[in-house]
Amino acid sequence: MSFLAKFSTATAQLVPRLRSDVFPSMLAKYFKELAALDNVVIITYPSKKLPHIEHNDLPSDQRASTIDRFVKGAFLLDPYYLAATKKNQRGFYQLNQLAPSGFDHSEYYRTYYKSSGLIDECGYLIPLGDTGKNFVNISLGRISLSDPFSAEQLLHFSEITPLVEALVTQHWHTEDVEFGTQKDLRGRLEAALEYFGKSLLTERESQMVQMILHGYSTKAISSRLSISVETVKLHRKNAYAKLDISTQGELFHLFIDSLMSIDNYEGGDPLIPYQTAITAHPSP
């Protein structure tokens, strides 16, 4: 069957499901009709609330270990989230178009990509409304399949972007994912990321930690900041010593643990209340 025939049939089945509870799962099925996929994840991002997983094909044993940490803070480091919120990008992208150099060696990549066996990802960023704060991210991934997406498949996904945007914005209206004057939970987590470690680190060390968390390699940091690789390594060594860690993995988990441990963040370095809690309630 040609792509046009598959596209027409799948679209005809999907449109009647708009505004129904089954639309997210039908949308995932829609993409699987168009190309061989292992995993479709659909995430809505209300402007003030934490992300909500509308659909996820990951096996249940992997979901529990990854999704909870993702929605409570790790999403702040996701290349798709950063592209939408920091660069106001929209449309269809491959992961390698958005991720920094060296991202595939980052702890975020190891935790949320490599651990699930993902070998290739592409997806959509679709804004809801004009503010740029509400948006939907649709991730299309290959896990067990041996080959990454072909150029033809990527082209097909890109060419149907206007239709996907129309369907998504019809289903998830802005008012559906916005809830009045509730606390800005996402804004608080973004502030926590910005101030993470600043009570202990110099400005340059803090900048280094931020870039490492976002997945930049040592070489990429050196190039971006116009400093030598040796200087990057020195700042990293000093920062790790002050944070009492020794690896990128420990840095990543320290950041996530500090976010997940505070319920009413009011500003400043999230490590302060985290370390206070650890001191008050040490592990047995």
pLDDT digits (tens, 9 = 90+) for 80-108: 999 999 999 999 999 999 999 889 889 99
Distance from chain centroid for Cα 21: 24
Give the pLDDT score at 210: 95
| Burial class (CB within 10 angstroms; exposed 0-12, middle 13-18, buried 19+) of 180 | exposed
Here the tokens at position 24 are 């997210």
Radius of gyration of the chain (CA): 20
pLDDT tier, 20 (very low <50, low <70, confident <90, very high otherwise): very high
Check pLDDT > 80 for residue 269.
yes
Number of Cα atoms under 13 Å in the Cβ half of residue 235? 22
Check pLDDT > 90 for residue 162.
yes
CATH: 3.90.1150.10, 3.90.1570.10, 1.10.10.10, 3.30.2290.10. Which one for 185-271?
1.10.10.10
Mean pLDDT of the 193-218 span = 95
**Superfamily of domain 17-176, CATH level 4:** Transcription factor LuxR-like, autoinducer-binding domain (3.30.450.80)
**Do residues 208 and 231 touch, judged by C-beta distance below 8 A?**
no
Give the pLDDT score at 145: 64
Question: Domain residue spans in the chain?
Answer: 17-176, 185-271
Give the pLDDT score at 13: 95
Here the tokens at position 96 are 């390698």
**Do residues 171 and 18 touch, judged by C-beta distance below 8 A?**
yes
Give the pLDDT score at 123: 97
Q: What is the DSSP letter of 116?
A: G
Check pLDDT > 80 for residue 54.
yes
